[in-house]
Structure 1
Amino acid sequence: MTKEKILAMEPGKELDILVAEKVMNHPVPDFIPEDALDLYLAGSPIHCDSWTCVCRYDEGDVPKWIPDPYSTDPSAAWPVVEKLTEEWTKRNKPISIEVTYDCGAYETKIETWDDDKKNWNEPIFSGSCEAAPEAICKAALIVFVGK
């Protein structure tokens, strides 16, 4: 997937699925629990890694897995920052992840130290989005799978 395609994606389910699978390394579960509907109706849906088993009345109460709302919920996006930091520092140099708000848009910038660890290199990623979770998810996808 190219950087341009990632940046063109809208926040929502498609982006969340990519983050769950490519960044968090959590493929969609390949099972549906027997008691999924009962647990969902009781207010205790089953959660497995980055996925929640839901049963929607308007879809026939058929259990299905949906991804965590990484691209729209700040609390769901934070584990993406932690995963990005953890995975990057395992394989590379220290990393800086900045999310700032300026003139109506959130800017995410990811940088690494130079070899002498005195200065920052050119950003690996720098882009703006309408919401911080979206910017975080797109930055992480570009680092993990962007070409």
Structure 2
Amino acid sequence: MKTGRELDILVAEKVMGWVVDGDIIENADLDEQGRCTFPSGDFLMNKETREPLPNYSTNIADAWKVLEKLIQLGAEINVGFYKQWDCSIDYPIGCNWLVQAETAPLAICLAALKALGVEV
């Protein structure tokens, strides 16, 4: 999967626990998947914090929020670079997921989804 809003939405829903709610904001439309969209093309804000959808797959500061969420869930994480960016997510029960990608945010997002059993 490539970087972009589709991946950001998947991370928001599957990793960060955002829930899509079309009644949150007036004058919003739903896309074909039932997600709330706005005329600007941006997507639904977080219901609890009213925060706009972060750019998880392209912005390292936003991707770091994904790592912090996984750490809260008990993960051990290693992000590094050797010819390509990689993100390794380990859980003490013996599970390990490693993803390599062109950018650190992309590697983080894909590894997080993989660790949570989401096919990408």
Tell me if both proteins adopt one fold, taking TM over 0.5 as the criterion.
yes
One of 19, 22, 25 as aligned partner of 1:30: 22
Q: Supply the distance in 2 between the matched residues of 1:80 and 1:70 (Cα, whole angstroms).
A: 8
2:116 is matched by which residue type in structure 1? F
Distance 1:79 1:64, change over 3 A: closer
Q: Supply the distance in 1 between the matched residues of 2:62 and 2:16 (Cα, whole angstroms).
A: 12
Question: Could you tell me how far 1:113 is from its partner in structure 2?
Answer: 4.2
Name structure 1 gaps, 5 residues minimum.
1-8, 37-51, 90-94, 115-120
Matched, 1:96 2:76: yes
Residues 55 and 64, structure 1, Cα contact 8 Å, conserved in 2 = no
Question: Could you tell me how far 1:109 is from its partner in structure 2?
Answer: 1.2
Distance 1:77 1:64, change over 3 A: closer
More helix by share: 1
Who is 1:80 aligned against?
Answer: 66
- What TM-score results when the alignment is normalised by the length of structure 1? 0.60
Question: Could you tell me how far 1:55 is from its partner in structure 2?
Answer: 3.8
Q: Supply the distance in 2 between the matched residues of 1:26 and 1:128 (Cα, whole angstroms).
A: 26
2:81 is matched by which residue type in structure 1? Y
2:63 is matched by which residue type in structure 1? A
Who is 1:10 aligned against?
Answer: 2
Over aligned residue pairs, what C-alpha RMSD do you find?
Answer: 2.8
| More relative contact order, 1 or 2 (CA 8 Å, 6+ apart) | 1
Q: How many residues align?
A: 105
- What TM-score results when the alignment is normalised by the length of structure 2? 0.71
Residues 32 and 64, structure 1, Cα contact 8 Å, conserved in 2 = no
Who is 2:13 aligned against?
Answer: 21
Residues 22 and 145, structure 1, Cα contact 8 Å, conserved in 2 = no
1:143 is matched by which residue type in structure 2? A
Distance 1:64 1:70, change over 3 A: closer
Who is 1:109 aligned against?
Answer: 88
